[in-house]
Chains A and B, each alone.
Chain A
């Protein structure tokens, strides 16, 4: 059975911002990425650093050394230790989306009216250069918005 945690009001978590909370004994980062909410375990799979304190950024992609593109701006979290990049929506490592993945949590914004809540993308992922691997990503958690409150379920 999932437990419901109210995190903050949507006003307190504008696009580009994050908040780090402790839920069920887990440190979890809740992010607003361009109006979509995502929650990730604040625990880098590399050396257990506080991943969610890292820089929110974009990343590069290229099929040719002379044509490098900037993409996924605001969707990438860079760990404050060693700089590994993770897709905030999926918890997948950019260098290897399957082998190394940060733990993400479901998040949602639930409104006070009877509007149904806006489901956040948890499996969209970035389209940056991906390398096949075989290990699971960092945990993500369900996020919802209810009564203009950002709510995380885990």
Chain B
């Protein structure tokens, strides 16, 4: 059993953070909060997006995370602080937004883009303004890349905005040059781009697995890593990582045990098929190691935890892996019990160090301005 000590200290000027949670989902109590930020022509439409067709028998949000007033899990800052941050000693909470928006599932890209912008303004005004452990993400509707580039430049200089988040599912693989204006803007603003699942198979996205539409949420959830693989190989092979060397990507909620397999396979194929991707100046795995980070949740749980540790070592977790709980969703990973015992150095990097470096976070969260 993992016996990780939970340090209750929050970061200060002198001590580095010990726990940065890279996937925290905040939600509005009432959609009207976000609708207020929509352009007038969309106010009647409100917040409308194709919802998930795969029923989760375990439910999507944790019942124990529901605030006392019965509002949605993740909608109360006080509840979140007491229930998760104080309980585990979370120094920074990276807000990744409301994945239920399913932005890339929307066929109307103009509306999708404005819904993203409205959501982000709401996050800045209602969550990042709280300060404390909160840093946040700009949700993006990448089917409207020029508008997203404009948004990234406009909102991306907020001191507590630390990344852009795209749905993991898209109409084209993310290496496609159609999306590059958005990448250019993110690189310019020094913001990593994360990909987070939920939209796979919904609305106008592609089937959620290579084999097509599965029957159950069980299958859908098991194969999330394969969707991440599809996006990642595209980002490498189309030259996005080579063309934007200062741009980082984050794969959230795809698990990670597939990563060594993926990197080895890519390098092997590159040795044979390099002529199709001649702009890669080093083996593909090195681009991933240098520019891509993976969050831990939902962590795989082999019968022998030592096997998971071996996989972490294979993927250079001391550089590439960042802890995420996915609070308050049903498959939250505990900061204490989810990961196998590991060396102090790797543990520090995974639980906080890699995220602190990627997002450029100061030791003292209170030193970050709120506007």
Contacts and interface: CB of A to CB of B under 8 A. Distances in A.
Interface of A: 46, 59-66, 68, 82-85, 93-96, 100, 128-129, 131
B281 A61 contact: no
Interface in B271-297: 271-276, 278-283
B274 A94 contact: yes
Given A65-B238, A65-B242, A84 B281 contact: no
Contacts of B281: 129, 131
Contacts of A93: 271
Contacts of B280: 129
A84 B275 contact: no
26 contacts: A59-B274, A59-B278, A60-B278, A62-B278, A62-B279, A64-B279, A65-B177, A65-B239, A65-B240, A68-B278, A68-B279, A82-B271, A82-B272, A84-B271, A93-B271, A94-B274, A94-B275, A95-B270, A95-B271, A95-B274, A100-B271, A129-B274, A129-B278, A129-B281, A131-B282, A131-B283
Contacts of B272: 82-84
A66 B177 contact: yes
A63 B273 contact: no
A83 B273 contact: yes
A59 to B, nearest CB: 5
B275 A85 contact: yes
B243 interface: yes
Contacts of B240: 65
Closest 5 CB pairs of A and B: A65-B239, A83-B272, A60-B278, A62-B279, A62-B278
B271 A60 contact: no
Given A65-B239, A82-B271, A84-B271, A60 B282 contact: no
Interface of B: 177, 238-240, 242-243, 270-276, 278-283
Given A64-B279, A131-B283, 8 more contacts: A64-B239, A65-B238, A82-B272, A94-B275, A95-B270, A95-B283, A129-B279, A129-B281
Contacts, number: 50
B239 A60 contact: no
Contacts of A68: 278-279
Nearest to A59: B275
A65 B281 CA distance: 11
A80 B192 CA distance: 41
Contacts of A100: 271
Nearest to B276: A60
Contacts of B282: 131
Nearest to A64: B279
A144 to B, nearest CB: 32
Nearest to B282: A131
A63 B271 contact: no
A63 B271 CA distance: 18
Contacts of B278: 59-62, 68, 128-129
A63 B274 contact: no
B184 to A, nearest CB: 13
B243 A60 contact: no
A47 B177 CA distance: 37
Contacts of A63: 279
A62 B242 CA distance: 11
B280 to A, nearest CB: 8
Contacts of A84: 271-272
